[in-house]
Structure 1
Amino acid sequence: MGDAAAWSLAGVAASAFLSATVLPGNSEVALTAFLYKWPDWLAPALAAATVANSAGSATSLCLGRLAPRKELPPRVVRGFDRFGPAALVAAWVPFVGDALPLAAGWLRLPVLPCLAWICVGKFLRYAAIGLAMRFV
């Protein structure tokens, strides 16, 4: 991988990290552009996007643990009561997904299962994008 590809992959990772926080990001666009230019680098691109986006959600999870204890909407609490950390597989969903790790941290859900489910959801989203790029 050349310098341009390495820097571009770093850009994908940065975009993915920011996209998982409350900051605006467009990791799907960055990943798509990267794979359009370097289609043979699917595995490193999926790894970079998944790890960085999961790290962004992990940051939100930790920030949720630091947040002052206020009441969450009842349907959020019911969702976590019903699904537990597995609810975080939906942390990839735009807008809503950014708040799920914050809520999980606030509810003091166990960190490792939360991170595992976050990673699963993030990987599946990026893998779907990578697979779609194979047909373009």
Structure 2
Amino acid sequence: MEAFLAEHGLPALFLLSFLAATLIPLGSEWLLAVLLLKGSDPFSAVAVATVGNTLGALTTYAIGLWGGPFLTRRMLRIDEKASQRAERFYERFGSWSLLLSWLPVVGDPLCLAGGVLRVGIRRFLLLVALGKLARYTVVAGMVLEGGRWMG
């Protein structure tokens, strides 16, 4: 499977990044690293990963906005503990907590809470995209710097 994804480049990165921010517990950073080490343009790769992951988060936001407990618990598999952590983030930092939507464990619940709490779509997209862009930029920088150091 990994070889298949690596062979399909940026479209595979978009799909994996999208899925990683939705229902399936995946990571997309490894494919970004592989593509960069194979010579993909860093700006294009980071942009594709960011857009895919942001659109995946938007799907989770929509479930929070229009979905119900069934979708939250059964489809997203967000348990009560994760929901409570996300709510505490929101209580403490408000919608600014969406900058942390890239974090494992709390990222998806934060996006879901953004929908449930009716955060404006523009604000949601801006904060989520900035957080995800920062994460992919850091990953790309580490990979590229590590590649220079190793090579």
The TM-score, its normalising length taken from structure 2, stands at 0.77
Amino acid at match of 1:24: P
Amino acid at match of 2:28: S
| 2:37–2:144 CA contact under 8 A, matched in 1 | no
| 2:86–2:109 CA contact under 8 A, matched in 1 | no
Matching residue of 1:89: 99
Quote the offset at 1:81 in angstroms: 3.6
| 1:85–1:110 CA contact under 8 A, matched in 2 | no
Quote the offset at 1:6 in angstroms: 8.7
Matching residue of 1:113: 123
Matching residue of 2:53: 53
* CA offsets 1:67-90 (integer angstroms, 9 cap, x no match): 337x963x5434324422211010
* CA offsets 1:76-135 (integer angstroms, 9 cap, x no match): 434324422211010000121111111110111111101100000000000001101121
Matching residue of 1:24: 25
| 1:64–1:103 CA contact under 8 A, matched in 2 | yes
Selected match of 2:141 from 120, 127, 131:
131
The TM-score, its normalising length taken from structure 1, stands at 0.85
Matching residue of 2:15: 14
CA distance in 2 between counterparts of 1:76 and 1:128 reads 24
Quote the offset at 1:24 in angstroms: 2.3
CA distance in 2 between counterparts of 1:115 and 1:14 reads 18
CA distance in 2 between counterparts of 1:132 and 1:76 reads 29
**Comparing 20-29 and 8-17, the one that deviates more:** 20-29
CA distance in 2 between counterparts of 1:16 and 1:98 reads 13
Quote the offset at 1:12 in angstroms: 0.7
CA distance in 2 between counterparts of 1:124 and 1:76 reads 20
Which runs of no fewer than 5 residues in structure 2 stay unpaired?
A: 1-5, 70-79, 147-151
- Aligned-residue sequence identity (percent) comes to 34
Aligned residues: 130
Amino acid at match of 1:62: A
* CA offsets 1:19-59 (integer angstroms, 9 cap, x no match): 011312220011011101015x0010010000000000011
